[in-house]
Amino acid sequence: MSEKLDGKVAVVTGAGAGIGEAIARLFSEHGCRVVIADRSAQAAERVAGDISGLAVTADVTHEAQVADLFKACEEAYGRLDILVNNAGHPGPTVKVEDEDMAVWDETIAVNLSGVILCIKHAVPLLKRQGGAIVNLSSLSGLKGKPLRSAYCASKFGVIGITQSVAFEVGVHGIRCNAICPGGVFGTGLIDTIVGDRARAEGRSAEDLFDQNFVQPSALGKVIDRREIAETALFLVSDSAGAVTGEHLKVDAGR
């Protein structure tokens, strides 16, 4: 087993499934002790059990639960080296004049406020020895998409947070970067997004995914969640020791 992250401790949010689960499993393979944070206790416990990690049930929109998450990490491992903000909300697929502001608020709360809350409570631990933060943004955080105002707004915001925080915490030896995935196969988030948009446009989900994600890409391929995990591994490793405040597209060249 590689020891790229040997002795380090990571908190990964939304790690009970999808990209977060892939990141947690890959980090564990490289010697990292991982705190599996998820709103689903069952999902968190399943992944944690497989990798001998720590399962913590937490909703990133509630500051008290976020504070308890990092307290549990410190009590279990005595340190924190890595934070991966992966927990996400698909947001609505609607015309702007039909925007339900309650759903808008929920999307922003998870995708944007949840990121800043986790960073707020992680930084005091990361300051002790330095470390790395990786935020999951999206291609929709770089270019707006029709019917996707809430999601795009939240993911654009993640890029802004990443750049701002990088300048603030760099003096403490903490790096902060973002990943902008394209359409990733096998995640509930993309399934929801594609399904909602397909219904809104009167198309099949399969046809929409192929025409909007696969065919336009330079590599003409579906992205696997493991490929996003490998990118996260690079960004938190010493190999990226001079990389901060950046966003990295992983989209097969879409």
Give the chain's length. Answer: 254
Summarised one tens digit per residue, pLDDT across range 7-49 is 999 999 999 999 999 999 999 999 999 999 999 999 999 999 9
- Residue ranges of the alpha helices (H) in the chain? 18-29, 41-51, 63-77, 101-108, 114-126, 149-169, 188-201, 205-209, 225-236
What mean pLDDT comes out for the span 215-230? 90
In this predicted structure, what is the pLDDT of residue 187?
67
The domain covering 9-250 belongs, at the CATH homologous superfamily level, to NAD(P)-binding Rossmann-like Domain (3.40.50.720)
- 200 or 112, higher pLDDT: 112
Per-residue pLDDT reduced to its tens digit, 163-209: 999 999 999 999 999 999 987 766 666 677 777 777 878 888 778 77
Catalytic residues: 151
Per-residue exposure over 172-200, b if at least 16 CB sit within 10 Å of its own CB, e if not: eebbbbbbbbbbbbbbebbeebbbbbbeb
Structure tokens at 110: 């998870």
The residue type of 31 is G
pLDDT in tens, 77-108: 999 999 999 999 999 999 999 999 999 999 99
Per residue in 115-161, pLDDT (tens digit) is: 999 999 999 999 999 999 999 999 999 999 999 999 999 999 999 99
